[in-house]
Amino acid sequence: MADVLVISKDKNVFEEFNITYSDERNNFEYADSATAAIEMISMEIPDLIYIIEMKIDVVLSILTEIFTDDEIKKIPVICLVSAENWSGRQELWERGVKDILQLPVSKEELKFQIGRFTDDISDMTFANEEPGMQGKLDDYNLLDLIQTLESNHKTGVLILYHSRDEGKIWFEEGDIRDANYRTLGPVDAILKMSRWSDGDFSITFLDEKYEKIIEAENEQILLNVIQHIDDRNKILKELPPRKETLLISPEADMDQMEDSDVVYLRFFHGGQTIVDFLDMFDEDDLKLLGVVKGFVDNQIIMTREAFDHHQTEQERQAEGAGLKKAIKKLFKRKDAAENEMESANARGRDSSDSGNGDFNGTEKREFAVMFYNDNLDLKKIKSKLAKI
């Protein structure tokens, strides 16, 4: 039986949800807030979480409060949000939500979707109760596991868990029969999962027959995986470390970019790693790494250190430009004052009513002090000139 936690501030929503969709394979529990959910999760980690909330910002807040450690982050999350907030669902995808359903939705449609999600979880839960083995992907990578199952002629299902994702590979007598990960085809799913170097795996040995979906033999699949890993590592060597945060350059101009590149670039808003980027999209890793390399080479994305340096340099240049402008203005004021002084002297020499016909030494010193202290006051200057 799968344990499913439903988070909703309206208990009536949960009760209707529970009555309509509960069955012998699923046990639904209720939490009215993130705080209540945290308390329940601390006692027993659920197999699946539903968050029923109209506003996406509230959902994001719940996710932030609940998913604070790696163990909890492995729990798949399904969000049900209103149509008004539908445009903001990209933020939920970026936070690792497994799927998003739009409200309102018909009972039949919701029942179908819930059945699809919870049946997958139930199958996984039952499978783990069968004879088999489990371990860490840090200790056994996918190549090791495939070769071990092949050499021992095992039949069953291999499930790999990475972050909040999971993928499955079915074997019969050690021969790979099928594979599943998100929307990818069987071979592409295996290539995608070959990158997972952290996470968990479980193997359930079953006495069943599986349809041969993958036509290639194990040897060819393994060769493809090895080549894929080599090609992937070559590109990664030319990029920043996989787990280093990359940010969008302040000078990146999305208006001049292709729409497809803009979709990729927006993922790095606020800072993301290459691993996060590869996990986000259901596409070939080599293609995605090519996109990242293009961004890095063209300085469209950069490491946080480079980003901070760029910001400091921009501020320094702006400060320098401001200083130059101030100096230019100061000299302009000085020239204006000197012109006034020369004009006054000329008027003094031409006037029979003038006192001494020129600035005396004291007046010149006063003007000099005003200029060098940046205290030029043209009104004061004109007042002095009027008395000459």
What's the mean pLDDT in 269-287?
93
What's the mean pLDDT in 224-240?
94
* Residue 257 per-residue DSSP state: S
Over residues 300-318, the pLDDT tens digits come to: 999 988 888 877 777 676 6
Do residues 258 and 293 touch, judged by C-beta distance below 8 A?
no
pLDDT at 385: 47
pLDDT at 130: 47
Q: Copy the structure tokens of residue 40.
A: 């329940």
pLDDT at 338: 64
pLDDT at 48: 84
pLDDT at 334: 60
What's the mean pLDDT in 66-90?
76
Over residues 210-230, the pLDDT tens digits come to: 778 898 899 999 999 999 999
pLDDT at 125: 43
Please tell me the least confidently modeled range out of 35-49, 186-200, 229-243: 35-49
Please tell me the least confidently modeled range out of 100-104, 115-119, 145-149: 115-119
CATH fold for the domain made of 2-126? Rossmann fold (3.40.50)
What's the mean pLDDT in 180-192?
94
What is the rounded distance in angstroms from the CA atom of residue 387 to the CA atom of residue 351? 13
What's the mean pLDDT in 198-220?
87
Residue 194 has pLDDT above 90, yes or no: yes
Residues composing the chain: 388
Please tell me the least confidently modeled range out of 164-173, 288-297, 304-313: 304-313
Label residue 357 by pLDDT band (50, 70, 90). very low
**Which of the pair, 286 or 371, is modelled with greater confidence?**
286
Residue 253 has pLDDT above 70, yes or no: yes
What is the C-alpha radius of gyration for the chain, rounded to an integer number of angstroms? 35
pTM over 0.75: no
Closest Cα partner for 59 from 21, 28, 19, 99?
99
pLDDT at 285: 96
**Which of the pair, 117 or 250, is modelled with greater confidence?**
250
Label residue 323 by pLDDT band (50, 70, 90). low
What's the mean pLDDT in 87-105?
75
Residue for token pair 């995608």: 192
pLDDT at 171: 94
What is the rounded distance in angstroms from the CA atom of residue 81 to the CA atom of residue 67? 19
Checking 355-358 for CB contacts under 8 A at 24+ apart, the result is: 355/388, 356/388
Q: Where are the alpha helices (DSSP H) in 194-303?
A: 218-236, 259-266, 274-280, 285-297
How would you class 157 by CB atoms within 10 Å of its CB: exposed for 0-12, middle for 13-18, buried for 19 or more? buried
Residue 372 has pLDDT above 50, yes or no: no
Element (H, E) at 35: helix 34-43
Label residue 161 by pLDDT band (50, 70, 90). very high
What is the rounded distance in angstroms from the CA atom of residue 194 to the CA atom of residue 229? 8
What is the rounded distance in angstroms from the CA atom of residue 302 to the CA atom of residue 249? 6
Please tell me the least confidently modeled range out of 98-107, 212-221, 226-235: 98-107
What is the rounded distance in angstroms from the CA atom of residue 51 to the CA atom of residue 68? 17
The fraction of the chain above a pLDDT of 90, given in percent, is 30
Enumerate the domain spans of the chain: 2-126, 130-235, 246-299, 306-387
Q: Copy the structure tokens of residue 147.
A: 């070769």
pLDDT at 170: 95
